[in-house]
């Protein structure tokens, strides 16, 4: 039975989402503040988390950041505001999706199903190891190393790097990456790709790699460029 953590300080929303999640066959755990959500996320291995942004003690952004230090569990963030900067902040902190209140509980469950379907597809892919100079990507264990230094990437960041690196100098549009790595049923937009690329570059730049870079092709997308 898949498990889900629903974290929101609005008990009515928690009650409604819990009811829908149970109908979908989930084992449901709830939390009503950020501290409780973070503790339960560390104590229990969930399949997915629904995380409200505005919660007492610790806000959802901080909870997401802390979870991402140790886990790639899918996180859908929920907020009462629909401003772009909040969506971008949520994605920059490692969220997989973002939904704005008021929302349809059925739509929330549809997004949950879509994310879990993508994970199921990913788990069936035969993993490989890619090397280029001092770069090594182990897709089986989701470990990336530069000069034997491990770079802590999320699952999606690893997949983006794997896709670009295995097709050196090929330009991928944001739409290409979104469709191939998130799936055609993803509800987000191309800014999701930009946010992940930004985080990926920041982490990769922790170790010098003069032979290659993730390059932006303005107005088109991104590529793994080999430096000659």
Q: What pLDDT is recorded for position 124? A: 54
Say how many C-beta atoms besides its own lie within 10 A of residue 70's C-beta: 10
Collapsed DSSP state (helix, strand, coil) of residue 204: helix
**Helix and strand numbers, DSSP H then E, in the chain:** 8, 12
Collapsed DSSP state (helix, strand, coil) of residue 183: coil
Six token digits for residue 134: 């001092």
Residues 153-191, buried b or exposed e (16+ Cβ, 10 A)? Answer: bbbbbbbbbbbbbeeeeebbebebbbeebbeeebebeee
- CA nearest to 46, candidates 91, 78, 7: 7
Question: Is the CB of residue 128 less than 8 Å from the CB of residue 139?
Answer: yes
Q: What pLDDT is recorded for position 122? A: 58
Q: What pLDDT is recorded for position 49? A: 96
Sheet of strand 75-79, all strands in order from the earlier edge strand to the far edge: 27-31, 3-7, 48-52, 75-79, 97-100
Handedness of CA 198, 202, 207, 210 (dihedral sign): positive
- CA nearest to 154, candidates 121, 114, 198: 198
Angstrom distances, CA of residue 180 to CA of 42, 72, 185 = 31, 19, 11
- Those residues of the chain that have pLDDT short of 50 are none
| Pairing state between β 27-31 and 3-7 | parallel
Report DSSP letters for 85-99, one per residue. HHHHHHHHTT-SEEE
Domains of the chain: 3-123 (3.40.50.2300), 129-226 (1.10.10.10)
């Amino acid at each position: 039975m898949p498990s889900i953590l629903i974290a929101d300080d609005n008990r009515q929303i928690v009650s409604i989402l819990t009811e829908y999640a149970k109908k979908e066959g989930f084992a449901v755990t709830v939390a009503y503040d950020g501290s409780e959500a973070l503790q339960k996320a560390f104590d229990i291995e969930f399949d997915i988390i629904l995380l409200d942004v505005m919660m007492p003690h610790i806000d959802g952004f901080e909870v997401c950041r802390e979870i991402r230090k140790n886990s790639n569990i899918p996180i859908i963030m929920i907020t009462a505001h629909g401003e772009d900067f909040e969506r971008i902040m949520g994605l920059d902190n490692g969220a997989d999706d973002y939904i704005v209140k008021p929302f349809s509980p059925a739509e929330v469950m549809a997004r949950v199903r879509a994310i879990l379907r993508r994970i199921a597809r990913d788990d069936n892919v035969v993993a490989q190891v890619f090397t280029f100079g001092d770069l090594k990507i182990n897709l089986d264990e989701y470990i990336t190393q530069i000069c034997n230094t491990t770079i802590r990437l999320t699952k999606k960041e690893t997949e983006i790097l794997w896709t670009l690196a295995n097709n050196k100098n090929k330009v991928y549009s944001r739409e290409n990456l979104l469709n191939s790595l998130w799936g055609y049923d993803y509800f987000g937009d191309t800014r999701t790709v930009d946010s992940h690329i930004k985080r990926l570059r920041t982490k990769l730049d922790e170790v010098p790699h003069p032979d290659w870079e993730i390059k932006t092709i303005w107005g088109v997308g991104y590529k793994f460029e080999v430096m000659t």
